[in-house]
Amino acid sequence: MNGDARAAFIVATRFAEGKSVPQDYAAAARWYQVAAEKGLAPAQYRMGALFERGTGLKLDLEAARQWYERAAEAGNVRAMHNAAVLFASDPKTKAGYEKAAHWFTEAASHNLKDSQFNIALLYERGLGVDQDLGQALFWYSLAARQNDADAAAKAKTLENTLPRDVAAKVRTRLAGWTPKQDVEAANMVAISNPDWPDRPLAASANYDLPLIGAAVDGNAGAHSIVEAQQLLNKLGFEAGEANGTLGSRTRNSIRLFELQSGMRVTGEVTPELLAKLRAKLG
């Protein structure tokens, strides 16, 4: 396994997707690790995702955080966001919210909507950063530009409560804002192997691997996620729209609730989580 990092990444992706070979996450993990250790940021991101979900590897959030941060340092935008989520939710991480704020800001600067919402939330609450409602308005407004209804509602509330001069400065800043340009090599792997003609010329490394998201057991699973989202929102944990999808914002809010409640941090919807949420609301 001493070949080119890109070739190793392509082999790993074949195993992960079950394309031309039987699907095998353990084999995918081995090949992603080869590419990741050679410094390929998209492979480092994938290693983080595998460790975070316990897919093909034993679940290990600390290892996931380390791989995400390596990829983030190279410019992988999704890794920036995921590293921030783990920093915000892992009580064993000394840097905690300060590191989370750093990486959310970096990803938000690349126009990642969820990170824009999250850094706005940290500024609004003064977590990892000095409380700054002007900054919160700025980042909520950027997320709102990408059709985030929750961010739009928060931005409207803040704009109506902030002093006019502060809101005006934010509007001026928004008018001149442009996102940072992504580092293509850190986020994409070019594929041009003629033996695999069904692959596009460039494959994004930043989509979630199949089955890495939480499995939903029919309607009951979806209903549980919706209930968790509704309860989290009522408690002020900003889970986003109650749509039954266990996305990054919902996972983030679950982790924050688990952390503050002294629970094991998983980011998953479980019977224990629902019981704790219901109890909080009486």
What structural domains does the chain harbor?
Answer: 1-76+183-208 (1.25.40.10), 218-281 (1.10.101)
- The predicted-structure confidence for 118-149, as pLDDT tens digits, reads as follows 899 899 989 889 999 999 999 999 999 999 88
For residue 88, what pLDDT band results from cuts at 50, 70 and 90?
confident
Is the pLDDT at 212 greater than 50, yes or no? no
Using CA of residue 159, residue 164, residue 166, residue 171, what is the dihedral sign?
Answer: positive
Q: What is residue 186's predicted lDDT score, i.e. its pLDDT?
A: 94
For residue 253, what pLDDT band results from cuts at 50, 70 and 90?
confident
Q: Which two tokens stand for residue 50?
A: 């595998």
For the stretch 231-235, contacts whose Cβ atoms lie closer than 8 Å and that sit 24 or more positions apart, written own/partner, are 231/274, 231/277, 231/278, 231/280, 231/281, 232/257, 232/277, 234/281, 235/277, 235/280, 235/281
CA distances from 212 to 87, 162, 191, 208, 228 (A): 20, 41, 23, 6, 20
Q: What is residue 238's predicted lDDT score, i.e. its pLDDT?
A: 85
For residue 175, what pLDDT band results from cuts at 50, 70 and 90?
very high
pTM, entire model: 0.78
Q: What is residue 150's predicted lDDT score, i.e. its pLDDT?
A: 85
Q: What is residue 199's predicted lDDT score, i.e. its pLDDT?
A: 38
CA 154 to chain centre: 20
Which DSSP symbol is given to 2? -
Of 98-107, 153-162, 202-211, give the lowest mean pLDDT range. Answer: 202-211
Average pLDDT over residues 68-79: 97
Q: Which two tokens stand for residue 258?
A: 């688990």
What is the pLDDT of the chain when averaged over all its residues?
85
